[in-house]
Amino acid sequence: MRALVTGARGFVGAWLVAHLADEGDDVVPIDREIDISDGKRLAAAIVEARPDAVYHLAAFSHVGGSWDDPAEVFRTNALGTLNVLEAARSCAKVPRVLLVSSAEVYGRVASDQLPLTEEAPLRPVTPYAASKASAELLGLQAFLGYGVPVVRVRPFNHVGPGQSERFAVTALARRIVEAARKGERAIPVGDLSTRRDFTDVRDVVVAYRLLTLHGQPGEVYNVCSGHAVAIEEIATRLAEMAGAEVAFEPHASLLRPVDVPELEGSPAKIEAATGWKPAISLDDTLRAVVDEALAGHGAPAG
Ligand code: A2R
């Protein structure tokens, strides 16, 4: 299968490109060299590549940072997705499109609503979530209106080696390792009570390929483990793994304007469609993140 990947040098993109190549796919990676909001250049590149599948990952991906420039976030995530869909539609043989949305589209949810199924209403709280919900609607319209075979995915939090330290788990691991090296005992943190459903990025990319092959066009699938874990527990495990004796001190500057207290997804639909289940335990993931922090490098590993 010939697979074009947008956002190919990002955290997930690097792992996805490696996984597709391992599976024998012919991969065409694109990233910043073609701005996703430049519809003409993007269409030319996609038409020329003649892919069987497009994995659309390019995005403004930082939820907290999305408050600073909602228009730019919308341009990249929603308009960029429209450009990918239009490009796919103009190909001689219309490729499958895997459209990567986000579980953030579910917004704040009462704990009795968890785990979230794909039927849950979209109630975006952040500019990032609104841009992803918009991208999903564009994908649905491309399917219903033009018959483009679009499969939408809502990944919950993913984590693993190669992630930027703008994201909580990697940032925590690096801060813990640094504090231990300097002999510091206290680490400033955001809200540790937040609970999230984490999946290892290496499992996420397996899910993406399986959904591209076996997902039902027009449908949407959660990609998640089905178990929420408090960031506090993760912080504690990271510290243990790093051999660091540190205390975590909440810091106002590290809190987001609005945070979603708990997210937990149901993976039942993806399991039924593809047989996918996460294979890597949270401890193995955290160990890999700590090892990377101890080795002192953070470049994408894929
Ligand atoms: O922002 P950069 O320089 O790191 O480049 C990112 C790229 N990207 C773009 N590419 C083309 N045109 C744009 N206007 C544009 N804006 C951003 O997309 C980066 O290489 C890639 C996204 O990778 P990450 O930020 O590492 O995101 P991650 O964690 O790999 O997430 C992949 C997908 C995204 O759709 C997320 O929203 C979703 O999974 O969770």
In tens, the pLDDT along 57-86 reads 999 999 889 999 999 999 999 999 999 999
Residue by residue, DSSP assigns 226-290 as S-EEEHHHHHHHHHHHHT---EEEE-GGGS-SS--SB--B--HHHHHHH-----S-HHHHHHHHH
Q: Which residues contact 192 (CB under 8 A, 6 or more apart)?
A: 230, 231, 232, 235, 248, 250
Residue 152's nearest CA partner among 273, 56, 224, 53 is 56
Q: Residue with the nearest Cα to atom 17 of ligand 1?
A: 59
Query: Environment class of residue 115 by beta-carbon count within 10 Å: exposed (0-12), middle (13-18) or buried (19+)?
Result: buried
How far is 216 from 208, CA to CA, in rounded Å? 13
Residue 244's nearest CA partner among 154, 194, 176, 145 is 176
Distance between Cα 131 and ligand 1 center (Å): 14
Predicted confidence band of residue 299 (pLDDT cuts 50, 70, 90): very low
Q: Count other C-beta atoms under 10 Å from residue 238's C-beta.
A: 24
Residues 169-201: tens digit of each pLDDT: 999 999 999 998 999 999 988 889 989 999 999
Q: Report the share of the chain in percent with pLDDT over 70.
A: 96
Does pLDDT of 30 surpass 80? yes
Q: Any bridge partners for residue 2, and if so which?
A: 26
Q: What is the DSSP letter of 24?
A: T
What is the model's pLDDT at position 270? 98
Q: Does 2-158+198-223 carry CATH code 3.40.50.720?
A: yes
Q: Tell me the residue ranges of DSSP E strands in 11-120.
A: 26-30, 53-56, 96-100
CATH of segment(s) 161-195+227-262+280-296: 3.90.25.10
The tokens describing 265, both together, are 């997804």
The distance in angstroms from the start CA to the end CA of the chain is 20
Is 290:163 a contact under the CB 8 Å cutoff?
no
- Domain boundaries defined on the chain: 2-158+198-223, 161-195+227-262+280-296
Mutate which of 37, 55, 57 for ligand 1? The one with the most ligand atoms within 8 Å of its CB, which is: 57
Residues 103-149: tens digit of each pLDDT: 999 998 988 999 999 999 999 999 999 999 999 999 999 999 999 99
Mutate which of 61, 152, 166, 202 for ligand 1? The one with the most ligand atoms within 8 Å of its CB, which is: 61
Q: Which residues contact 181 (CB under 8 A, 6 or more apart)?
A: none
Distance between Cα 48 and ligand 1 center (Å): 22
Same fold, 2-158+198-223 and 161-195+227-262+280-296: no
Give the HSE-up count for residue 55: Cα atoms under 13 Å, Cβ half-sphere.
Answer: 35
Q: Does ligand 1 have an atom closer than 6 angstroms to the CB of 9?
A: yes
Does pLDDT of 96 surpass 80? yes
Distance between Cα 60 and ligand 1 center (Å): 5
Is 234:171 a contact under the CB 8 Å cutoff?
no
Distance between Cα 157 and ligand 1 center (Å): 15
Q: Does ligand 1 have an atom closer than 6 angstroms to the CB of 31?
A: yes
